[in-house]
A = this chain, B = another copy of it.
Amino acid sequence: MKQEKTTVIEHHNFQGEYRILRLSAPATGPLVKPGQFLELQVPRLAERILRRPFSIYQADESGVAVLYKAVGRGTEAMAAIQVGEQVNIIGPLGNGYPEADSGKTPVLVAGGYGNAALYILAQRMKKKGIAFFGGRSEIDILLVKEFEKLGWEVRPTTDDGSLGTKGLVTAAFDPWMNQRGVGSGEQGVENIELFVCGPNPMLKAMGDRAIEHGFTAWLSLDKNMACGVGACLTCVIKRKTENGWEWARCCKDGPIFESRDIMWES
């Protein structure tokens, strides 16, 4: 974890309302594990003071990149960030995804900016598998070619059917999962390992399936944050313990949790 004054190297529209921001960050870049995130201080963010958390989309020795969508005040103000200007970040933060189990088939499931968060994971995983990407429309399905270039099979779904299967991500995932069946050895569903990043209902849907069918699902939780480092106790979720539950901080103990550990609140 570093606090670094970075310089903007690249900043441009990517697709639809998604933008890519690349930062020269030699202190932070080398430390990054897939699934970790940054707390970014938005320059010229009028009337609001807190940092905004973003998954790390790419990282190397020289820096990091995030892929973000303008959804509100902060992310809209980010559009004005210029190449060459300074951006203050804290990162990498959070636990990140664990090493993939080499005996299992890795499966990525993502929605929205979740694709971005999983890209660096996909890059660094030795074994390639299958990726289910959901979105409202074609414009919300990101990076298909990039994942394919890495050797992943991509199965998109869209709410409006403009790309891939029509429906939620489960509309593509469930048939695939059912086809594999339970208890069929290497091919069986208990032998897949899910890496999921997306909106909470998607996380929960995938977590429920994991528990029901006995496979592993690593879920990246998205909770509003204030400090991002574990100090303020804003971003807590209920994590199961032997006798009940305890609060776990998404920013520090997460954002990645295994589906069996999470106690979903209604």
Q: For the complex, would chain A's binding face be called helix, strand, loop or mixed by DSSP majority? A: loop
Q: Which residues of B contact A46 (CB under 8 A)?
A: 44, 46
Question: Which residues of A1-59 have CB atoms within 8 Å of chain B's CB atoms?
Answer: 44, 46
CB of A194 to closest CB in B, whole Å = 43
Q: Which residue of B lies closest to A77 (CB)?
A: B44
Q: Which residues of B contact A44 (CB under 8 A)?
A: 44, 46
Kindly state the separation between the CA atoms of A44 and B46 in the bound complex, as whole angstroms: 7
Kindly state the separation between the CA atoms of A46 and B77 in the bound complex, as whole angstroms: 13
Q: Mark A223-263, 1 if CB is under 8 A from B, else 0.
A: 00000000000000000000000000000000000000000
CB of A252 to closest CB in B, whole Å = 30
Q: Mark A69-80, 1 if CB is under 8 A from B, else 0.
A: 000000000000
Q: Which residue of B lies closest to A46 (CB)?
A: B46
Kindly state the separation between the CA atoms of A29 and B46 in the bound complex, as whole angstroms: 31
CB of A79 to closest CB in B, whole Å = 14
Question: Which residues of A75-101 have CB atoms within 8 Å of chain B's CB atoms?
Answer: none
Kindly state the separation between the CA atoms of A46 and B46 in the bound complex, as whole angstroms: 5
Kindly state the separation between the CA atoms of A44 and B44 in the bound complex, as whole angstroms: 7
Kindly state the separation between the CA atoms of A176 and B128 in the bound complex, as whole angstroms: 91
CB of A8 to closest CB in B, whole Å = 17
Q: Which residue of B lies closest to A44 (CB)?
A: B44
Kindly state the separation between the CA atoms of A44 and B45 in the bound complex, as whole angstroms: 9
CB of A44 to closest CB in B, whole Å = 6
CB of A136 to closest CB in B, whole Å = 32
CB of A50 to closest CB in B, whole Å = 14
Kindly state the separation between the CA atoms of A46 and B44 in the bound complex, as whole angstroms: 7
CB of A116 to closest CB in B, whole Å = 29
CB of A9 to closest CB in B, whole Å = 22
Kindly state the separation between the CA atoms of A44 and B80 in the bound complex, as whole angstroms: 12
Kindly state the separation between the CA atoms of A46 and B80 in the bound complex, as whole angstroms: 15
CB of A77 to closest CB in B, whole Å = 10
Q: Which residue of B lies closest to A45 (CB)?
A: B46
Q: Which residue of B lies closest to A43 (CB)?
A: B46
CB of A41 to closest CB in B, whole Å = 13
Question: 3 A-B pairs, CB-CB below 8 angstroms?
Answer: A44-B44, A44-B46, A46-B46
- Give the top 3 A-B pairs by smallest Cβ distance, nearest first: A46-B46, A44-B44, A44-B46
